[in-house]
Amino acid sequence: MIKAGIIGSTGYAGQELVRLLTQHKDAEIVWYGSRSYIDQRYYDVFHNMFQIVDDKCLDDNMDELAEKADVIFTATPQGLCSSLVSEEVLSKVKIIDLSADFRIKDVNRYEEWYGIKHQSPEFIKEAVYGLCEINRKDIAKARLIANPGCYPTCSTLSIYPMAKEGLIDMNTVIIDAKSGTSGAGRGAKVNNLYCEVNENIKAYGVASHRHTPEIEDQLSYASGEEVLLNFTPHLVPMNRGILVTAYASLKRDVSYEEVKAVYDSYYKDEYFVRVLDKDVCPETRWVEGSNYVDVNFKIDKRTNRIIMMGAMDNLVKGAAGQAVQNMNLMFGLKENEGLELVPMFP
């Protein structure tokens, strides 16, 4: 039985980790970390856990937790994990960090985009980017995982086959993305109040969103060239879900059958990536509550461009589900263990 500790268990991603791990046959939670609710019953914070979780919330003492757990999940704001991790800790326990602290390999770029000083740059090179469908072998051997961001997961998986095969001009990539409000976290913010969000859609982080360099890095690795792109996220009035619509110019004429064969070659053996039938566009409602990513594409012969689309649940595959998928790989378990969740509808 894998003993798991969660630092940041009372945020949206942390609570989703609790939901998934309490149903995982090979894992048990030994630490419910939360600075905001120390000594309070976990079910008093999330009443859906009444008579399921009786434990009290603890602090974020990673050194103590490393003595009790086999794996630590840090579902915390940027900067916290890097301030707590150490060689001593990593010699005892595996860490899956859901923040951005170890996703970007250039520490100067991280500090520029996130506006904070990195507290443990010595571990950046070692950390494995935990996009399971691409880095599976490295994840299995890792002791520190940088769990990918929600927008980068959906964007990368939607575009990756075309970038890897060199079929698109990477200088022309534009990503339009939309997310439910849970992506902004559980903290109280005026812009996330019901009256501010309901009956509204808006762009935010235009030309400045912090997931931009993460997406650029992953597509650069895929294509073998430096990628600069436009990424524009939007906030939509729903709880969960991410929808990505990405555009790029084709390098040559391609048929639907040729592109479909490319996507199928990359994803036919992937449990969680579903390549949809012709002309079926991904929708967030068909992946909600699950670890699935639905992807598809449309070739626009008129403009010689391809539209690449993806939909997923930002709290599951975009955060907690992907973290559990990483845990499964790190401990030699079946990759979809505890994650065979049928999407919820309605």
Q: Report pLDDT digits (tens) over 290-334.
A: 999 999 999 999 999 999 999 999 999 999 999 999 999 999 999
Model pLDDT, residue 231: 98
What was the pLDDT predicted at 23? 96
- Which among 150, 154, 195, 281 is annotated as catalytic? 150
How far apart, in whole angstroms, are the C-alpha atoms of residue 206 and residue 251? 28
299 and 161 in one domain?
yes
Q: Is 81 a catalytic residue?
A: no
Task: Say whether pLDDT at 60 is over 90.
Answer: yes
122 shares its domain with 165: no
Predicted local confidence at residue 265, as pLDDT: 98
Q: Give yes or no: residues 190 and 95 share one domain.
A: no
Q: Which residue type is seen at 185?
A: G
Model confidence over 99-119: pLDDT tens digits? 999 999 999 999 999 999 999
Tell me the residue range of the domain where 297 lies.
Answer: 151-313
| 136-143 average pLDDT score | 98
- 177 and 61 within one domain: no
Q: Does residue 45 fall inside a structural domain?
A: yes
Stated as kind and residue range, the H or E segment containing 247 is strand 242-249
Output the domain CATH number for residue 209.
3.30.360.10
| Whether residue 192 has pLDDT greater than 90 | no
- Per the CB < 8 A criterion, the answer to whether 86 and 65 are in contact is no
Residues 121 and 159 in one domain: no
Q: Give how far the C-alpha of residue 192 lies from the chain's centroid of Cα atoms, to the nearest Å.
A: 21
Note whether 161 and 309 are same-domain residues: yes
Provide the number of structural domains found in the chain.
2
pLDDT, average across residues 66-93:
97
Residue 142: inside a domain: no
Same domain as 175, residue 298: yes
Q: Which of 318, 342, 340 is nearest to 132 (CA)?
A: 318
In this structure, the dihedral spanned by the alpha carbons of residues 45, 50, 55 and 60, taken in order and rounded to 10 degrees, is -30
Contact 95, 72 (CB under 8 A): yes
Instruction: For the chain, give the mean pLDDT.
Output: 97
For residue 188, pLDDT beyond 80: no
Q: Are residues 257 and 116 in the same domain?
A: no
Determine contact, residues 319/147, Cβ cutoff 8 Å: yes
Same-domain status, 159 and 301: yes
> What's the whole-number mean pLDDT along residues 49-53?
98
Which residue would you say has higher pLDDT here, 188 or 125? 125
pLDDT above 90 as % of the chain: 96
Stretch 235-264: mean pLDDT, rounded?
98
d(CA 144, CA 251): 38
Whether residue 221 sits in one domain with residue 112: no
- Say yes or no: 170 and 51 in one domain: no
Reference 95, options 64, 63, 70; nearest CA is 70
Residue with tokens 């935990």: 130
